[in-house]
Structure formats: structure tokens, C-alpha cells
Structure 1
Amino acid sequence: MKSDDANRENRVTEVPAEPKDSASEKKLRVLQVNKMYYPATGGVERLVQQIAEGLNERTDMRVLVCRKKGKGQVDTINGVEVHRASSLGVYFSMPVSFSFFRQLRSMSRDCDVIHLHMPFPLGDLGILLSGFKGKVVVSWHSDVVRQKKLMVLYRPIMERLLKRADAIVVATRGHIDGSAYLGPYRDKCVVVPYAVSEYLRRKAEESTPKQYIPGAPVEFLFVGRLVYYKGCDVLLRAFAKVPNARLTMVGNGVLLEELQNLAEELGIASRVRFETDLPDSKMAVAFENSDVFVLPSVERSEAFGLVQIEAMAYGKPVINTWLKSGVPYVSLNGKTGLTVNPGDVDALADAMKKLAADPALREQYGKAARERVQKNFTTELMLDQLMKVYQW
């Protein structure tokens, strides 16, 4: 007989095989709730859009988010009805919106499922106050790591919402094992891996493998917001130790000027290119032209690193970090790339130098990376598993 721990592990990692009412022809009415939606950028925002557009024909899907600032509005984006509650602005990464509660209560009245993306304290409180009696599915993207003082106020609300939830969706086992909060709710957790966007998947399939040119500089690529937990300063310091290489950093954020100044101080400004805003078409070119993708994140705020699977879809090896989150579960050390301790400049530099000096290893890891994406991180798989969770 299996132990309780073994049984619990199975419940964590398995998606329900069949929905309870799979024969029903009635479309489920689903309300997806998040802070923001396209054109706001970010991994979670891209995921919410993927789910909304991907399940729009299989469900009656609507989305409720907030404006960054301004009056509320309703948009239809690629066939998805998106309601944006008015907001006084964003403070501590949280929109301040009073109309959000009224809209959530009104929109939930005829819903079968509310799918909330956490952390989003406004959403937690809104669901608890709405009187909603249907199914609540929570996508747990990360713990709140930095705003520890605010957690004193938020945690009781968060705990009530997690107790209320019917299912907690996580992208990897690492989200559970590395969380300070999910342990008591492990039996509710279901692993549903994220997926590379359909646009980048198609572009990746159409792309031509980069040809190795002896003596040419090795192209390293970083994509992400320029914020504290991304470890961009560590990346620049490590890159300064890597000869005959170039680095492209795609992203914007509060640390942009500081990082540009650091590149100057390290004497590598001529080898580092900052791209603050790239459309999808040019982003695809950046992936195609790179040799190695680097995700040097230093805090558990980086819960998955969606850009990893985007790079892997292009057959690029990934250097990531041993965070207590889902990050090292995506690109696997010694199989699809290399994993180093977060914040360790020398270890990151050694990994970069190792891949820079070995084109055969880059090709080996890159091929395995693309195969891993095709097997584990497809949109079809993600959407099918989510539908089972909705119907379970």
C-alpha cells in the first residue's frame, strides 16, 4: 500500500482523467480574473490571454481585469470580451479599484467557474465578498516575496481564498515544494505546465537553425523586465568575464539606466545591446539569432520563467538558476542547459564560458530543449488539462 505522502504526490501531479460531466453540450461560463490584460506585458498577462483566446470557443469566456489608471471600459480582443475596471492607479504592484468589487459580483452571478490568477489580493477579496457559489480555480504563479509587511494584512484573506478554492493550478512541482504557503493545500494542487505562445511556436518551427561560424562571437540573450529579482546585474558582471561574446538584453524597467551605467563601468558597453521594446516579429528574430538564452533570476518571484520555453522552442540551450520555484523544472540541468546558484557571478560566468566554447554541446542541449517543449509545453496540452480542471 502506498504511503500518504506517495498518494498526496500523485494527487499533486495528476490532472483529472475525465470531467464529471463530459457529455454535457452546454458551454461552461468562465470568468478569468487577473490584475491586467493585453496590451499590458508580462508572463502572466500573456498566459491569461493564451487561455482566454484558446478556450473562447470551448467555453463562454470573459475576462475581468483593472485599468492601470482611468475609467472602466469593455474591449473585445481577438473575440474575447475583456472588462477593465476603473482604477486610481497602481501602488505596491496593485491596482486601486473600488468598482472592481461591484463588477466581479455582477459578472459572477451567471458564471460556472471563476479562474483567478494569484497573487492578486483584490481578486481574493472580491471573490470572498461576491457571494459566488460556483467553482473557484486558482492559478498560483508565485508567493509574495518582497512585500513581507503587506503579507501581515493579506495572508488571512489569501488563506481564506485558498480554503475556498476547488482547485489550485501550478505550472510545476517546484511551485508547491518551494512555496511557503501551499503545503496545507497540496491535495488541491494540480500541475498544468505553461505553454509557448502559438505565434512564437509557429515562428520557431519556420526558423532555420543558426549556422556555427568558427571564431564568430557567441550571442547570449536575456528577455524580461529589468527589475530586482531578474538578476540582471549578476548577468552583466558574469558576462564581463566571457571573451568573444555579445549580449542582447530585451526588456524595460526601473533598473534600465542603472544597468546601462553598470555596463559602462565594466567596460562591456560595446558588447551589450539594450532593446527596451520589441514587437513579436523582432522578438522572434532575437531568439533565432541567439546562441544561448540566460535567465539569471535571483528571487522566488521568478516562479517559472515563461521566456525559457520560448527560447527552448527555438532550440536554444538555457542557463537558469537553482531557485526554490518552478524555474529549474523547466530547463533541466545537464539536459537542456545548465543551472547555477542564484547570485553567483563566477558560476554564471563559468556556465556561459562553457557553452560559448562548445558549439557541439550547445547543439545537443538545444535539440533536447526543443523536444522538451514539443512534448511538455504545448498550448493544446495546457488547454486540454485546464478544461478537465474546469469540468472536474
Structure 2
Amino acid sequence: MIKVLHVYKSYYPVIGGVANHIKVLCSEMAKNKDMNIEILVVNQKMKSVNETYEGIRVVRAGKVFELSSTPISPSLYYWMKKLDPDILHLHFPFPPGELSALLFDRSKKIVLTYHSDIVKQKNLLFFYRPFLRKILEKAKAIIASSPSYLSTSSFLANFKNKVEIIPYGIDVSFFQKRDEEKIKEIKDRFRSPLILFVGMFRYYKGLQFLISAAENVDAIFILVGTGEYEMELRNQVRDNKLENRVFFLGEVKDDDLPNYYQASDIFVLPSTHRSEAFGITQLEAMACGLPVISTELNTGTSFVNVDRRTGLVVPPSDANSLISALNKILSDQTLRRRFGEAGKKRVEQYFSKELMTQKIKGVYQKILKG
């Protein structure tokens, strides 16, 4: 039996793209009888917790403090050694995990999923760059989620020979289920058409530009999520008298989320920085047959949403471009349907959790044989 330990800063019920990806991957991987999957993350409290969640062992190492939004746990390395995996699967960026892995037994096999460059913490990157290079050298395999991110990341440029392109996958059937009564409730609550955003309210999401666009688009904008920029965004809505057009719904239960996708007409991901490395919520929207509007960041966002095929791709930080794209799709029902159908087929063919898991398991088997 192959024992795999996934290492990152957080895990469910903490919300976030990487944490959600790890949950989907590990839940699917644990179905393999020849795989023993464990997860090591940092707890939100000082005490370490050893628990089982959905049949998977999850160790949450006690947090002592935070540095540049990164939780620091001195016991992370202790747990890494104690759990003693055959494969150590790191989820970058998480510097404490990578630094611990550099001290790890050289005989262990390391797989590193490169989720994103370090974009915001430039001072941290200045000091961390040599260690990042070392962990990329030590890794037996590196996983990137899209060809575009591999081709535009300066950090991956010297390691292309051991990079595997494996896109994120979702539970397609979960998002395609329909609850007609709840979908009707959502449509009755808001005036049609509905423009949807789902995600955390972070600096790179570009929601200020979507709110600006709302002034010149005859539609209702519903924002699902929370985050540190919520008050700033609410103030923008109030100052521009958009309270009857832009609605903040907060966090929505997982089981209810497909209903909001199914009730909407367009999904928008207006991100502004490379921190948006892929945009998993685009997959969720496309699985539900929604056309997507995203921004060109030279990351995986435009690999997921193919311009003029599954939706439209516009320049980042440009409210006028968002206005034009929204009005173009809203005014053409045939185009809207064509984008939606193409997106649904694309997700079903390339972005299922089953396909992702199969490919990552193949990486494990390859490095163990090598």
C-alpha cells in the first residue's frame, strides 16, 4: 500500500481554492484500496489535533503565529517525520511546508503541486527564492494545472523536464444536479438576468471592477462569498447607489451552491493578478452550462475559459471591457446557449475529479518505479 501525505497550510472546513482542491483529490484518491491518504496542515489554534475526516486522517499542527498571512507551526516537521509517508505531496506556496521538506529524509519521494507563483509577498520572495529553487530541485515530480502557467512562470522555466500538466478536476455530477424548486426561489427573489460571482473577496479578484460595470449593465449581480475586502466593496456599492442591483449573499452551503449556478445567466471571474492561477469556480459554472467571462492573466484562467468558445476573455482591471462583454452575451441568447453548451462539454471531457485523480496516481506510480 502506498502512503501519501499531503501538506498545506489549511484544509476543510477552511474555505479556499487549494484547500478545496485537496479535499476533492484526497476524497477521490482514498477510494483506491492500494492508497493510504493522510493530510498535514496547520491548526487555527496552538494545540495540535489528530482527527479523522470522511475516513482520512487529518493532522492539524498547532499554530504559534502568522507571518505574511502564513501560519507558522514548529511541530510541522515533527509530524512530517512521524507520519513517515512513501510520498510527500507538497502544495505550493506554503513556505513552512517546503522548508520542512528540505530537512526530510532524502530517500523519500516528493511531489509538488505548483498552484501559484508567490505574487503579493515580494519581500518574502526575495529571501525565499533560494529555498524555492532547492525544493523544486528536490521534487521528483512537479504538477502544474495548465500549460499557460508553466510557460509563463519564471520559477518553473528551469524544471520543465519534470513538470506534469494535470488540470484541476471537480465533481461534475454534483454541480449538474438540479433542484427546480430552489432554482425557482432564487429566480423569484432576484430580477432576471442574473450575473454571478463565487469566491473569496481577496485583493486579486477584481470585484471593484465588476461592481463598477454593474452601473451600465441591466442585470442583477449576486456575489457569493466573504473576505477581507467585503466592507470596502459594500461601501463602493453604497456610494454608487447600487443596492438594488448588487447583492452580497455571504457564504452559501455546498449543497445549495449548484442552485445558484443553475439559476444564473452568466458567470464572471474578473481577477486582476497572477494569484488567480486557474479559477476552479469557472469549472463549476461551466458544468452547469453557464457562459463565462474571465480576464487575460496569462495563467490557467484562459485555459479553462476559451475565448469565443466557452465565453469571453477580456483585459484585467477594465470595467468598460466587462460592460461590453456582459452586454454582448446578454443581448444574444443563441450565443449564450452556444457558449454554455461548449463549456459543459469541455468540463465533462477534461476537468473531472476522476480524470485528475487517475493522472496524479500515475505520477505517484511513475516516481516510485523510478
Q: TM bucket by the smaller chain?
A: over 0.9
Equivalent position to 1:242, from 193, 208, 217:
217
Among 326, 329, 338, which residue is 1:355 paired with?
329
Q: Is the CA contact 1:118–1:142 (under 8 Å) kept in the aligned structure 2?
A: yes
C-alpha separation between the residues in 1 aligned to 2:110 and 2:28? 19
SS in 2 for 1:280: coil
Alpha-carbon distance, 1:344 to partner = 1.1
Decide whether the 8 Å contact of 1:138 with 1:165 is kept in 2.
yes
Flag structure 1 segments of 5+ consecutive residues without an equivalent: 1-26
Q: Is residue 225 from structure 1 mapped to residue 197 from structure 2 by the alignment?
A: no
In structure 2, distance between residues paired with 1:91 and 1:222: 30
Alignment of 1:301-312 (within 5 A): 301-312=275-286
Q: CA deviation at 1:207?
A: 5.9
Which secondary structure state, in structure 2, belongs to the residue aligned with residue 124 of structure 1?
helix
Give the drift of 1:217: 2.8
C-alpha contact 2:178 2:262 (8 A) present in aligned 1: no
- 1:105–1:126 Cα contact (<8 Å) kept: no
Instruction: Decide whether the 8 Å contact of 1:118 with 1:141 is kept in 2.
Output: yes
1:138 aligns with 2:112: yes
2:290 corresponds to 1:316: yes
Deviation digits for residues 84-119 of structure 1 (CA, Å, limit 9, x no counterpart) = 1000243312111101111112223xx211110001
Amino acid at match of 1:176: L
2:87–2:109 contact (8 Å) kept in structure 1: yes
Distance in 1 (alpha carbons) for counterparts of 2:220 and 2:105: 55
How far did 1:267 drift? 2.1
Separation in 1, partners of 2:216, 2:174: 35
- Equivalent residue letter for 1:82: V
Name the counterpart of 2:72.
Answer: 96
> Alignment partner for residue 185 of structure 1, among 146, 154, 159?
159
Pick from 25, 34, 39: which aligns with 2:8? 34
Task: Give the distance between the partners of 2:353 and 2:204, measured in 1 at CA.
Answer: 27
- Structure 1 residue 173 and structure 2 residue 147: aligned? yes
* Cα drift, residue 206 of structure 1: 4.0
Counterpart secondary structure, 2:220: strand
Matched residue SS, 1:130:
coil
Matched residue, 1:204:
176
1:332 partnered with 2:332? no
1:279-314 deviation per Cα after TM superposition (whole angstroms, max 9, x unaligned): 012212111111000000000000000000000000
TM-score (norm 2): 0.94
Distance 1:265 1:258 in 2: 11
1:73 paired residue number: 49
Q: Secondary structure at the match of 1:47?
A: helix
- For 1:117, give the aligned amino acid: H
Cα distance, 1:357 vs. partner? 1.1
Is residue 269 from structure 1 mapped to residue 243 from structure 2 by the alignment? yes
Could you give the per-residue CA deviations for residues 219-250 of structure 1, whole angstroms, max 9, x where no partner exists? Answer: 0000111111000001101121112x000001
Q: What is the Cα-based RMSD across aligned positions, in Å?
A: 1.8
Q: Secondary structure at the match of 2:143?
A: strand
* 1:252 alignment partner in structure 2: 226
Instruction: Please give the alpha-carbon distance, in whole angstroms, between the structure 2 residues aligned to 1:76 and 1:175.
Output: 34
Corresponding residue number in structure 1 for 2:38: 62
Report the number of matched residues. Answer: 359
Would the aligned equivalents of 2:30 and 2:37 in 1 still touch at CA under 8 Å? yes
Structure 1 residues 328, 340: CA separation in 2 closer, same or farther (over 3 Å shift)?
same
Distance 2:363 2:318 in 1: 39
TM-score, normalized by length of structure 1? 0.88
Matched residue of 1:31: which SS? strand
Render the CA deviation track for 1:310-346: whole Å, top value 9, x for unaligned: 0000000000011021110001000000000011111
Matched, 1:377 2:351: yes
Report the equivalent of 2:253: 279
Q: Percent identity?
A: 35
Query: Partner amino acid for 1:383?
Result: T
Query: Is contact 1:69–1:89 with CA below 8 Å preserved after alignment?
Result: no
Aligned pair partner of 1:86 in 51, 62, 85: 62
Q: Secondary structure at the match of 1:332?
A: coil
Q: Which has the higher contact order (CA 8 A, sep 6+)?
A: 1
CA contact (8 A) 2:197 2:222 kept: yes
Residue by residue over 1:151-207, the C-alpha shift from the partner in whole angstroms, topping out at 9 and shown as x without a partner, is: 1111111110000011110111011112121100011110111112x3x63341446
The correspondence for 2:103, drawn from 123, 126, 129, is 129
User: Match for residue 152 of structure 1?
Assistant: 126
Counterpart residue type for residue 213 of structure 2 = A
1:131 deviates by: 2.0
- The 8 Å contact of residues 174 and 258 in structure 2, kept in 1 or not, is answered as no
Deviation, 1:367, is 0.5
Paired residue secondary structure (1:133): coil
1:344 and 2:327 matched: no
